[in-house]
Amino acid sequence: MLITDDFLPVPVPESLSATYLVPVTGLPRVSTKSAVAALAGRIAEPVHGLARQMLDSPLMSVDTRPIGEFPELPPDLLTAFGASEAQLDRLAAASHLVVVQAEYRPGWPPAHEWAARAVAAAVADAVGGDVVDVFGLQFLAPAVALRSLPDERGRIRLVDWVLVPYSSDADGLWFTTKGLRRFGLLELQTQGVPDHLTRAWGAVMTGAARRLLRDWTDGLAGEEVPAFVQLPVLATVTGHDIAVAYGNPEQHGATAPVLLRLELDPATDPDADSFLSLRPPAGHPGPDGRYYAAACATLFAGIQPDVRYARPGDAMSRAIATARAGLDDARARFVAGKLPRESQLVVKYGLPGEDGPEYVWAGVTSWDAPERIVGVSASDAASDPTVRIGSPVVVETSDVVDWALLDGTGVIEGGWTQAVLDAGERPTP
């Protein structure tokens, strides 16, 4: 095996397994094969055929067991990963579990996951129940589980299979992925992420997972399963990677790529998991958190600073007026916690400069007083050396000229002034 400074050898497991549960009250009155047959036309044929084949092979087992024979599923973790009270109530009332398990070799397609999820969803759909993904500790409605399966071209949304939970400590946020081990790859982690990058860095991690998963499965494409796959030490992440991972390839934009260094972080406890850590490239000056903020600013390039200012009556003035008219509603939704899930509110405001105002963006962290916004800068200001990516800022609401909601794909609402700039109408002083 060739080992160089440019590649990191990552061990490959001999086999992979998937386990899904369907809680039921009493014994199910439908056979598994008939339930799977009923999916004809509802999922892509490659997966439907794969599920039928594995169901008839030693690679898959389907058993119905009294619920007491299975280890208790932790309600607190199920809740943390999105379980509703109704789903937990149905689990508590269940007398049996239909247990679907499958095994397969590492590589693409991940037949064990696709087939096991399809069979479990078929059973749950037939009995009017839920699917429990044991690996992800997630409840899935049958329709949701079926939608997550690949289309006729084998494409999936990675966010349906890989989660990105995070926790906080004294050094910032600790992000991990939860789902890459389904495919045999070690989970990713990043530590010391600034608090204001909660949503943005989760999207970056998802995009990085998509890129590394492609490299991983390319390394497993041969007839024989190798002992190691060599992954590039410098992983390249683009806006396209993020958009594809979220199932929106047409929204990828033309952002510059970002480099992240891959490091193996082996577990010291034999019962703990090893990770692949994402870090700034070697030699990057300054703290890691600043690099992560700059990476987010690069990948979500829909919020760029603008040093021009608008002439009265032109398109830019109309854009600013539109943004200001919706500012009160944006604040009300932010304060009430009614913004779309996984979205980030940002505002654009003016800084005084020698040649006129410089307009920069800031992520909103709190907006308790209507006249004052507390946030963090999303860009470096040319006119004020104290305003840097990730630095705290206090913005007077009267100075705001635009606002936008961002998610992993870019701007989903607002950004009227940016639309004018993108259209090529840049008023001059």
At 233-290, the pLDDT tens digits run: 999 998 888 888 888 765 555 567 899 999 999 888 877 789 999 999 988 888 899 8
Instruction: Flag whether pLDDT at 4 surpasses 90.
Output: no
Parts of the chain belonging to CATH 2.30.30: 314-423
**pLDDT value at residue 409:** 66
> How does DSSP assign 149-171, residue by residue?
S--TT----GGGT-B--EEEETT
pLDDT averaged over the chain? 86
Task: Assign 316 a pLDDT band (cuts: 50, 70, 90).
Answer: confident
For residue 413, pLDDT over 50 is answered with yes
Calpha distance 417→320 (Å, rounded): 6
Where does 314-423 sit in CATH, by number? 2.30.30
Q: What percent of the chain has pLDDT over 90?
A: 53
The pLDDT tens digits of the residues spanning 116-125 come to 999 999 999 9
Q: Bridge-partner residues for 393, per DSSP?
A: 375
70-99 pLDDT per residue, tens: 999 988 889 988 889 999 999 999 999 999
Contact 407, 300 (CB under 8 A): no
The per-residue pLDDT for 145 is 95
Identity of the highest mean pLDDT range in 91-100, 242-251, 364-373, 386-395? 91-100
pLDDT band, very low/low/confident/very high, at 393 (cuts 50, 70, 90): confident
CA distance 185 to 162: 12
List pLDDT tens digits, range 23-68.
999 998 889 999 999 999 899 988 999 999 999 999 999 999 999 9
By the 8 A CB rule, do 344 and 363 touch? Answer: yes
